[in-house]
Every structure is written in structure tokens, then in C-alpha cells.
Amino acid sequence: MSRPPNFEFQEWWNKQREKNHELFLEKSDNPNTPFLTVEISSPISDQSVGKDRTRSARQLSWVCLLKLQQIASFLTWISNGFVFLVRTASRRIASPDSRADSSSSQLYRVIKVFLIVVLLLLGFELVAYFKGWHFSPPSVGSVEVLGMVGFMYAKWLEIRANYLAPSLQGLTNVCIVLFLVQSVDRVALMLGCFWIKLWKVKPVTNMEYPAQGENENVEDYPMVLVQIPMCNEREVYQQSIAAVCIQDWPRGRMLVQVLDDSDEVDAQNLIKAEVQKWVQRGVRILYRHRLIRTGYKAGNLKSAMSCDYVKDYEFVAIFDADFQPGPDFLKKTVPHFKGNNDLALVQTRWAFVNKDENLLTRLQNINLSFHFEAEQQVNGVFINFFGFNGTAGVWRIKALEDCGGWLERTTVEDMDVAVRAHLCGWKFIYLNDVKCLCELPESYEAYKKQQHRWHSGPMQLFRMCFMDILRSKVSLGKKANLIFLFFLLRKLILPFYSFTLFCIILPLSMFLPEAQLPAWVVCYVPGVMSILNILPAPRSFPFIVPYLLFENTMSVTKFNAMISGLFRLGSSYEWIVTKKLGRSSETDLVIFEKESDPLVESTNLYRSSSESGLEELSKLEISKKTGKAKRNKLYRKELGLAFILLSASVRSLLSAQGIHFYFLLFQGVTFLVVGLDLIGEQVS
């Protein structure tokens, strides 16, 4: 802040210069007065010097006042910013959470107690460090000789060496074994993926449909039912309905069901209007809305399959509201059923329109690329089984009916129906080269809720179908694959050892150094596994370190979800629709524009709607774009673990443990960034 000019001082200075100049002229005009009679010690000069000193002091006071004003304004800005930060944090913490967040309060209390213990231990170790006890720790003796602090530290060393460290070392060894078993599974999946790539193994069809416009026999096309379940999908309903309605399939052989579970009247009216547009274009499309909305997505699909006209259809294709299949989707998937009477499901791969939107979507793309490229492709080729993804797949309706149809007992109805169909002897095919565009969650809140549902549901299902697996007539190898690989290793052991090893054991081992956690467990093996996971998405290789750290950070959410599903906690039955933003690729937008041209040119549709109806639709379109104001949150569990890991990194620094220190530091910073909701979409 620049100092304002002082006009009062300038005026005074000019007057003094004029007076001195007049005095000099008067003395120089008198010839009898020598020039040297003008002395510095004259009263006039003394007075001027005094005035000059007075004015300088006044200027100094002005400068001091300005400096004080600047300091006061800076302190005010700092205090206001601190108050705003505290209020924002308080509002985020006090904001109503979902049941998935509130049910984890028990885990948060455990983390909070753990944090208090870690801080006390860190303070104790700092006192011991400054006393030099890290070089020569005191041995147990009398209080008079050692002093109270020395006596307590000596007893603490004895307790941790004889009682605490052996227990922690035992838990560490168990987690290391589980970690190695899971790593072997990852290596086996990647070897299978390399084998498939090397020999170019992929499912082949017994027939192919001609391209659009060529001579074709309509009777060669089976009857296909296409279902689009949705719930308050304001952002994506148009593109999803359009992508299905422009399928290159005879219109008389396809029926589209828009299964709307929206509880908002505006959203219902918007979707009805969109369905009516395609009806007037000649597409066989129906709008269904349940009066009794129970069972979430499973209940919605079950209700749709109970319609009488479903018996006329042989296959059903399912697309979630944000999925945009290509026009040739049915022509690439349905032919695989020809001649394969024991085939129940054809699943396609997901592709993401917003994978490069932010760091969160890039990390999700790495994870899901490994899931599709390695897990589903390898399992589909070698054992003809994998978990149904709930969308972008085609089912044989007979197989659905044979395994009992859609059940509402879990929040992973897709995995449930896939397991039951597999136990009934049906086979699955995965098509890695057929991709269906969809959207990734761009905010951490939406991603966290999605992951909670994806990891609590499998534990619910495992608890319910464990005895059914044992009693089934499938081979012993398939039973072992379902129990030990599909459920235990990939759904239970992975989140358990990841959270326990890197969030509990690692920081504790810094305060209990008698329990050793080797550096290869902390750094080298996780690094190799991260490289394997990132191979299906090689363009994401620069994000390998953030991916490793973020996956460990997500372990707290996955661990909490696994526990809630395994022990039937309330949040395990919660279904929260993943928030979408309605993003489409440029190619899709061009296709939709071309397909919509005849509709725009035609006036029949607009004549069929009254002016008041058009006005109502325009109001709904405006309301579609306006929603509740979103705010970023603070995540307490992540913040608590951040402070635990950072405290452990300080303790590791005192012990001069290089790899452990850096890992704890970077992992703690990652937890801090995620806990402050600084990853993904940022809102005000």
C-alpha cells in the first residue's frame, strides 16, 4: 500500500525556500555588508532548523500511523479469513450426512481415540528425544534415581517390548501374508491378460448381421427388450433415451422401456415429454412409473419384467441412465447367443466420456480399466463367469427366469443375479472390444457413496448365498472360485489388509519399533502392483504415485463399507443414485443432432402440443438446470487418519527411517487433501 502525498509539508517547504531567497537578496544588495556576514548560527537559521526538525517528527508520526493502519488491516484480514475458515469447516462438519456417512460414526470414534493415543505417544517420544534417550534409553530402576519421567519411559519401553510389540508383529505377519496372496492374484490376472493379447483370444459369433441399408430379413432379428432404469436423472435422460432409440435394429423387433422411479414431478414430466417425442417418430417406446417404489433398481426391473408382453421377447438389454450405447450395439452383442443355448449374458466394456476431467476421474479410469481388461476379460475367457456390471449387457430372459429373476435383498442386484445364474449352470461372455460410453463421478462425495454401495453389497450377498454355493451342483473348482477368489479375496481381504496394514499397523510400528514392517511391504511390492494395475491404461502412467496413495486413502471407505455389509449395519441397505452431469462426447452429439434433424423439420410434433404445453416444457427445462447449491464437505475419518499418519511421520523422522518417513508423509498429505475435499469437482 503506497503512502499518500503530504501536501502540507510541500507547501511549508516552498515557503521556507522563498523566505531564504529574499533574505539572501537583501544582504547581497548592500555593498557595505560583506557576503560572509550571513552566518548559520543566526536566529533565523536556528528557527528554521527547529521548524524543520518539528516537521520531520510530524512526518515520522504520519509514517508510523500509516504502518500501524497497514498492520491493523492485515490482522483484520487474517482474523476474518480465520473466522470464515472456522465457520466453513463447522458448516461442513455439521451439514446433514447421508446414512452411509452417519453410520460410520463408530469407526470415526475409534479413529479419534487412536489419534489421541498417537499424539500422546508422540509427545512422550519428543521429550525422550530431547533428553537423549534415543541413544541410551534408561533401564528400569527407582523413581528417585531416574525421576518420574525417566521411570515412566523405562516402564513404557518394557511394556511395549514384552506385550504390545509381539501382538502387533503377529497382526503384521497376517496382513503381509494376505497382501502377498492378493498380489499373486493380481499377477495371475495380468498373466492371463497377456496370454489373451498374445494369442488374440476373443469370443466369436456364428453369424453377423448386415450393415445398415443392405438387404436384410427382419425375421432373422430376435425380439429384444431394452430397459433404461432411471431416478431423477435430469441431466442424462435425453442422451440415454436418444442413444437407445437410434439403435440399428428393426423397429418392429425392439421395444424400449423407460423405467422412471423419479419422485420429482418436474423430472417425470421431462422424461414423459422426451418419450412422447420418440413415439411420434415411430419408435416403440413406453414410459413406466411405479406407484410403490420399493427395492430401488432391483424392484424397478422386477416390476418391468412382470408385464404380460415380456413373454414375446427373447433378450433384454439394460442401460443405466448415463450410458450411451453405439448404434450397432445390438448387432455386436445379440449374435453371440446364436448357437449358444447355455449362454445367459453378454457383457460389454465401459468407456468414459470424462476420464480426463480431473485427477479423480483419471484415477478412477485406472482402476476400472484394470477391472475390465484383466478381471472380467480373464474370468470370461477361462471360467465363463464374472460379476454382471448392472448395465451395458444383454441377458437371455429365460436365464433370468431360471435363476429367480431380480431380487431386492441386496444393493448389488446385478452381482446377485449373476451369481445365481452361474450356480444354475449358465455361462457368460465378455466383449472387451465393444464399448459403451458412460460417465464417471466427478466429485469425491459421489464417488465415495458409489464405492460404499459397491463394497457393502457384496458382503451382504456373500452372507446370504454362502450356503447356496455349498449346496449347488456346480463343480468344486467353481465353488472355490466363488468363495475364495470372487468374494473373500477381492471383496473382503483386499479392503481389510489395505486399511489395517497402511492406516493402522504402519503408524503404530513407528511408536512400537520392536514390531518390524519391512520396507518392501511399504514401498516396493505396492509399487510393482501399481505398475501392473496401470498397464491396461498406459496413458495414465504419470499418475502412478497419486494412484497408489489414493487407493490407500480409499481403503477407509471400502473397509467401513465391507464391515457394514458383513455385520448388517443400517447403511449397507442404503441406495444413493450416483450424481451425473450429462456429459457426452462430440461424436455422440453429432449423431444425436443428425438423428434429430427430421424431428426438427417435422411440424407434426409441435402441432400436437399446445402453446401452453410448450411453455410448460420450457419452464421445466429451465428448472432442470437449476438445482440445490452444492458445497464441498470435510470428511472426518480421512482428516483423523491424516493427522495420525503425519504424527507417525514425525516419529519416523526422529528414528531416521527414510522410506517409512516419506511414505507416511505423502500418505498423510493425501489423506489431508481428500479429507478437505480438494480432489475432484470443486464447488462453492
What's the 3-state SS for 33-93? CCHHHCCCCCHHHHHHHHHHHHHHHHHHHHHHHHHHHHHHHHHHHHHHHHHHHHHHHHHHH
SS3 217: coil
Query: Mean per-residue pLDDT for 197-210?
Result: 92
pLDDT band at 511 (very low <50, low <70, confident <90, very high): very high
Nearest in space to 417 (alpha carbons), one of 442, 439, 448, 396: 396
Give the residue, 69 or 387, on which the prediction is more confident: 387
Residues 6 or more apart whose Cβ sits within 8 Å of residue 85: none
pLDDT at 159 > cutoff 50: yes
User: Of 543, 535, 548, 540, nearest to 192 (Cα)?
Assistant: 535
Question: Minimum mean pLDDT among 263-267, 328-332, 542-546, 566-570: which range?
Answer: 566-570
Kindly state the cell numbers that stand for 206. 456364428
- Mean local confidence (pLDDT), 443-472: 94
Give the whole-angstrom CA distance, residue 174 versus residue 179: 9
In whole angstroms, how far apart are CA 279 and each of 109, 383, 473, 644?
55, 42, 46, 59
Percent helix, strand, coil in the chain, to 5, is: 65, 10, 25
pLDDT band at 658 (very low <50, low <70, confident <90, very high): confident
How far CA 651 is from CA of 149, 161, 488, in Å, comes to: 19, 17, 35
Pairing status of strand 254-260 against strand 315-318: unpaired
The grid coordinates listed for 371 are 477391472
Cα distance between residue 197 and residue 242, in whole Å: 34
**260-313 pLDDT, tens digit each:** 999 999 999 999 999 999 999 999 999 999 988 889 899 999 999 999 999 999
Name the phi and psi angles at 415, rounded to 5: -65, -35
- Catalytic residue (one of 320, 414, 416, 677): 414
Q: Is the CB of residue 266 less than 8 Å from the CB of residue 248?
A: no
Q: What value does the mean pLDDT take over residues 38-46?
A: 44
User: 596 versus 516: which is more confidently predicted?
Assistant: 516
Cβ pair 108, 636 in contact under 8 A: yes
Given a cut of 50, whether residue 586 has pLDDT beyond it is no
Contacts of 103 (CB under 8 A, 6+ apart): 564, 569, 570, 571
CA distances from 418 to 50, 385, 464, 584 (A): 99, 8, 14, 29
CB 288 within 8 A of CB 301: no
pLDDT tens digits, 63-91: 788 888 888 888 888 888 777 766 665 66
Round the average pLDDT of the chain to a whole number and report it.
84
User: Cβ of 428: how many Cβ atoms within 10 Å?
Assistant: 24
- Least Cα distance to 505 among 516, 489, 490, 494 occurs for 516
Q: In this model, does residue 53 exceed pLDDT 70?
A: no
pLDDT confidence tier of residue 655, bands split at 50, 70 and 90: confident
Rg (CA), the chain: 36
Helix (H) or strand (E) holding 125: helix 105-130
Q: What confidence score (pLDDT) does residue 344 get? A: 98
- For the stretch 537-558, pLDDT in tens is 999 999 999 999 999 999 999 9
Instruction: Give the separation between CA 628 and CA 402, rounded to whole angstroms.
Output: 44
11: confidence class by pLDDT, cuts 50, 70, 90: low
**Secondary structure (3-state) at 430:** strand
Check residue 541 and give its pLDDT: 94
**pLDDT at 88 (0 to 100):** 61
Q: Which of 100-109, 527-536, 607-616 has the highest mean pLDDT?
A: 527-536
Give the pLDDT mean for 391-413: 96
Share of the chain above pLDDT 90, in %: 63
Percent of the chain clearing pLDDT 70 (strictly above): 78
Q: Which of the following is catalytic: 101, 260, 261, 677?
A: 261
Quickly state the pLDDT bin for 459 (edges 50, 70, 90).
very high
CA distance 379 to 389: 14
- pLDDT tens sequence across 125-139: 998 888 888 777 777
- Structural contact between residues 543 and 366, judged by C-beta atoms closer than 8 angstroms: yes
pLDDT average, residue stretch 5-13: 60
For residues 589 and 510, the model is more confident at: 510
Which residues is 260 bridged to in the sheet?
A: 230, 289
Residue with cell 447355455: 342
Residue the block writes with cell 465391507: 562
Does the active-site annotation cover 414? yes
Read off the DSSP letter of residue 209: P
For the whole model, what pTM was predicted?
A: 0.81
Give 571's pLDDT tier (boundaries 50, 70, 90).
low
Examine the residue annotation and report whether 52 is marked as an active-site residue of this protein: no
